[in-house]
């Protein structure tokens, strides 16, 4: 199964391409509504199937349907405005009352936010009659009645009664009961399939970013397990799904089946342009007893708020893509609590991000100090390394590498120690990459020239579309790229220059690498760019403080000289293994040279 990694196509191509070039050289040379209609208050609800009166007989499975035969009724509370269509007896429109969708002309969230609307979603139960013909409830005309917070939809298929009962519950729930009577006279295979077609319209600024966060989500194994798929097809022939949902960046539509869905499969297609982000189809079998379908379902139309999702106790919180394993835990138990604490003090979102960056830097300060101390030590022994390069200029690369490692060993410099800070910052980098574009509380929060910290800022408009970049330039992305470049220049002084003709200058490649961040961040959440800008700016300040006020290079040089005079330490297992491998490789080179 291919799963969403949170990157859009352009970001993947630009970032991975440049990364492969850089790391390729390093490894080679150095060893991802319908319109609302008024409801007749005089109508009486049909709540008991056995007492409900059948509506007009459907003599054939594809009757001629006129506009006058389609009716719409609605239920509404403080959170949802739900409309139901007599065609198919299905939910035709769902508005989340407290939220707004992005309006491109106004460049802000001003439009009503609909999940279902304008025929973008349809669902129904598909049966096969005794003659082998297939019919679906979404093609039938139902008779609607409203009673309080309940809508009853009823239809007749060749004498069989199909009844849907919808109840608008608390929170963002719509109860959905299915009852049939006489269906056993029509079908005999004991099978019913729930079919759901859902075309997702964009609600956020930035089509590419929203599309990458639009995907299937489903729970199984008695609500204990979760999976998702963001690109291709889903196929679960063995698992019983407790619920199936389609999520967008900040909102989701989920249907739960008390009896579960079996033999589930789905497909998704992503149009290149237009108002539809993705097209989803789902097909899952539901249980029938005695060739009658009597089962309870529940629809959830909800914002992806972590506290809300967890309150259902159905593993819905996994819908929020905070990252796998340790990455997700880092967001759930560190970054989200810190963000919630700081915002509770009334601090603006942009400054909350600023403070989060400082807190993260303080926590990482011990390993960062070791990293910069190692950098200073490498700078001090640069003359000795240059001597080795000159001495072994005409020797093979293996001998030169062995001599270089000997210098490092005598000086007490452990090159591998510099890898630890980088390794520690990788999960933090990815956790925040997941945190900023998916934090509902950040949605619509402005900061300086960024109108929404979960979307890119596009103050600088371009007259044309530049591949991998788009039709704008993000100021935060540009600023972040500049500070990363400055930081790279300040830290690349210890990098060796090519000693052999034809070898690439790694310094040049290191300077090119930061430019990839412009392509990577230009269409990403501006909150993410702002965080990386502050983080790298602080790195520069830390380097300067360490260089001029903390570390004394003369003392470091004296320490290195003293290390040289000491008796060499006993060779460790790792060093011994590395030396033996290098010697073996050197012998193989000699043999090949003789041949």
Question: Residue 127 maps to which CATH number?
Answer: 2.70.98.90
- Per residue in 124-160, pLDDT (tens digit) is 999 988 888 888 999 999 999 999 999 999 999 888 9
The listed range with the strongest mean pLDDT (81-95, 323-337, 494-508) is 81-95
Contact 10, 491 (CB under 8 A): no
In this predicted structure, the answer to whether residue 549 has a pLDDT above a threshold of 50 is yes
Helix, strand, or coil here: 97? strand
Residue 359 lies in a domain: yes
Going by C-alpha positions, the residue among 98, 100, 102 that lies closest to residue 204 is 102
In this predicted structure, the answer to whether residue 547 has a pLDDT above a threshold of 80 is no
- Per residue in 242-266, pLDDT (tens digit) is 999 999 989 999 999 999 999 999 9
d(C-alpha 221, C-alpha 240), whole Å:
7
Residue 502 lies in a domain: no
- Per residue in 556-595, pLDDT (tens digit) is 667 666 766 665 555 556 556 666 666 666 666 666 666 5
266 plus 346 within the same structural domain:
no
Environment class of residue 552 by beta-carbon count within 10 Å: exposed (0-12), middle (13-18) or buried (19+)? Answer: exposed
pLDDT of the residue at 493: 58
Domain boundary among 298, 321, 344: 321
Contact 456, 523 (CB under 8 A): yes
Question: Which tokens is 157 given?
Answer: 């298929």
302 plus 407 within the same structural domain:
no
The position carrying tokens 């790792």 is 574
- Per residue in 95-133, pLDDT (tens digit) is 999 999 988 888 888 899 999 999 999 999 999 888 888
pLDDT of the residue at 565: 65
In this predicted structure, the answer to whether residue 42 has a pLDDT above a threshold of 50 is no
In this predicted structure, the answer to whether residue 89 has a pLDDT above a threshold of 90 is yes
Mean pLDDT of 178-189: 89
Residue 163 lies in a domain: yes
pLDDT of the residue at 551: 67
Q: How sure is the predictor about 328, in pLDDT bands with cuts at 50, 70 and 90?
A: confident
The listed range with the strongest mean pLDDT (112-116, 476-480, 503-507) is 112-116
309 plus 328 within the same structural domain:
no
pTM of the full structure: 0.76
pLDDT of the residue at 26: 41
Domain boundary among 268, 288, 321: 321
pLDDT of the residue at 569: 55
Residue 97 lies in a domain: yes
Residue 254 lies in a domain: yes
331 plus 296 within the same structural domain:
no
Residue 415 belongs to what domain range? Answer: 322-445+525-567
344 plus 312 within the same structural domain:
no
Mean pLDDT of 260-286: 90
Contact 277, 210 (CB under 8 A): yes
Residue 245 CA, distance from chain mean position:
15
d(C-alpha 282, C-alpha 95), whole Å:
22
Residue 492 lies in a domain: no
Q: How sure is the predictor about 301, in pLDDT bands with cuts at 50, 70 and 90?
A: very high
Residue ranges of the alpha helices (H) in 412-551? 419-438, 475-491, 506-512, 516-521, 526-545
Q: How sure is the predictor about 240, in pLDDT bands with cuts at 50, 70 and 90?
A: very high
Domain boundary among 271, 305, 321: 321
**CA angle, 322 as apex, 321 and 324 as ends, to 5°?**
95
Going by C-alpha positions, the residue among 149, 8, 151, 148 that lies closest to residue 437 is 8
Going by C-alpha positions, the residue among 268, 283, 279 that lies closest to residue 232 is 268
**CA angle, 208 as apex, 206 and 210 as ends, to 5°?**
70
243 plus 213 within the same structural domain:
yes
67 plus 139 within the same structural domain:
yes
What is the percent of the chain with per-residue pLDDT over 90, rounded to a whole number?
A: 27
Mean pLDDT of 317-343: 86
pLDDT of the residue at 265: 92
Helix, strand, or coil here: 205? coil
59 plus 144 within the same structural domain:
yes
Higher local confidence (pLDDT), 242 or 41? 242
Going by C-alpha positions, the residue among 343, 280, 254, 304 that lies closest to residue 99 is 304
Question: Which tokens is 195 given?
Answer: 């079919």
pLDDT of the residue at 390: 75
Cα–Cα distances (Å) from 398 to 388, 411, 414, 577, 591, in that order, read 12, 20, 19, 15, 14
Residue 91 lies in a domain: yes
φ, ψ at 342 (rounded to 5°)? -65, -40
Q: What is the mean pLDDT of the chain?
A: 78
d(C-alpha 530, C-alpha 80), whole Å:
34
pLDDT of the residue at 43: 36
pLDDT of the residue at 396: 63
Residue 258 lies in a domain: yes
Going by C-alpha positions, the residue among 403, 509, 512 that lies closest to residue 27 is 509
Q: How sure is the predictor about 36, in pLDDT bands with cuts at 50, 70 and 90?
A: very low
When divided into structural domains, the chain yields a total of 2
230 plus 331 within the same structural domain:
no
Higher local confidence (pLDDT), 493 or 440? 440
pLDDT of the residue at 522: 82
Question: Which tokens is 217 given?
Answer: 């989500």
* Half-sphere exposure of residue 324: CA atoms within 13 angstroms, side-chain side: 7
200 plus 308 within the same structural domain:
yes
pLDDT of the residue at 419: 65
d(C-alpha 365, C-alpha 368), whole Å:
5
- Per residue in 372-382, pLDDT (tens digit) is 777 777 777 77
- Minimum mean pLDDT range among 197-201, 339-343, 344-348, 451-455: 451-455
294 plus 309 within the same structural domain:
yes
310 plus 300 within the same structural domain:
yes
Helices first, then strands: H and E counts in the chain: 15, 20
In this predicted structure, the answer to whether residue 32 has a pLDDT above a threshold of 50 is no
């Amino acid at each position: 199964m291919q799963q969403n990694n949170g990157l859009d196509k352009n970001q993947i191509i630009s970032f991975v391409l440049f990364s492969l070039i850089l790391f390729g050289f390093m490894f080679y040379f150095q060893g991802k509504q319908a319109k609302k209609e008024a409801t007749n208050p005089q109508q009486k609800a049909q709540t008991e199937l056995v007492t409900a009166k059948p509506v007009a007989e459907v003599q054939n499975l594809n009757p001629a349907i006129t506009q006058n035969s389609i009716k719409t009724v609605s239920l509404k509370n403080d959170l949802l405005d739900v409309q139901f269509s007599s065609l198919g007896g299905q939910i035709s429109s769902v508005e989340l009352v407290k939220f707004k969708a992005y309006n491109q002309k106004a460049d802000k969230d001003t439009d009503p936010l609909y999940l279902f609307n304008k025929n973008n979603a349809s669902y129904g139960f598909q049966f096969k009659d005794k003659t082998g013909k297939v019919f679906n409830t979404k093609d039938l005309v139902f008779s609607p009645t409203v009673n309080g917070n309940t809508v009853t939809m009823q239809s007749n298929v060749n004498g069989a009664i199909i009844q849907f009962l919808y109840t608008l519950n608390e929170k963002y729930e719509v109860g959905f009961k299915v009852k049939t009577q006489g269906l056993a006279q029509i079908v005999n295979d004991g099978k019913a399939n729930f079919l759901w077609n859902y075309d997702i319209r964009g609600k956020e600024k930035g089509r590419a970013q929203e599309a990458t966060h639009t995907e299937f989500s489903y729970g199984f194994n008695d609500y204990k397990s979760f999976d998702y798929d963001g690109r291709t097809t889903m196929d679960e022939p063995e698992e019983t799904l407790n619920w199936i949902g389609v999520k967008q960046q900040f909102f989701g539509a989920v249907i739960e089946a008390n009896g579960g869905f079996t033999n589930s499969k789905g497909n998704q297609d992503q149009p290149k342009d237009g108002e539809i982000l993705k097209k989803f189809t789902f097909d899952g079998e539901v249980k029938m007893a005695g060739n009658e379908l009597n089962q309870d379902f529940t629809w959830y139309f909800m914002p992806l708020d972590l506290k809300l999702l967890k309150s259902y106790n159905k593993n819905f919180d996994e819908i929020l893509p905070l990252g796998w394993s340790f990455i997700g835990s880092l967001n759930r138990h560190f970054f989200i609590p810190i963000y919630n604490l700081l915002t509770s003090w009334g601090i603006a979102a942009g400054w909350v991000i600023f403070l989060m960056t400082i807190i993260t830097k303080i926590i990482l300060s011990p390993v960062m100090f070791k990293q910069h101390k190692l950098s200073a030590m490498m700078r001090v022994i640069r003359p000795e390394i240059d001597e080795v390069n000159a001495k072994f200029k005409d020797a093979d690369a293996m001998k030169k590498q062995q001599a270089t490692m000997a210098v490092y060993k005598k000086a007490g410099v452990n090159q591998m120690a510099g890898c630890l800070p980088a390794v520690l910052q990788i999960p933090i980098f990815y956790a925040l990459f997941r945190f900023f574009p998916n934090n509902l509380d950040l949605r619509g929060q402005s900061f300086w020239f960024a109108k929404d910290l979960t979307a890119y800022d596009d103050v600088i408009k371009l007259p044309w579309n530049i591949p991998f970049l788009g039709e704008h330039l993000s100021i935060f992305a540009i600023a972040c790229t500049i500070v990363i470049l400055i930081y790279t220049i300040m830290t690349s002084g210890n990098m060796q220059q090519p000693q052999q003709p034809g070898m690439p200058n790694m310094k040049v490649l290191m300077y090119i690498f930061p430019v990839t961040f412009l392509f990577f961040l230009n269409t990403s959440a501006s909150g993410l760019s702002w965080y990386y800008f502050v983080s790298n700016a602080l790195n520069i300040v830390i380097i300067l403080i360490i260089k001029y006020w903390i570390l004394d290079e003369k003392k470091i040089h004296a320490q290195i000289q003293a290390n040289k005079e000491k008796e060499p330490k006993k060779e460790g297992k790792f060093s011994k293994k590395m030396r033996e491998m290098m010697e073996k490789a050197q012998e193989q080179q000699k043999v090949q040279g003789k041949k």
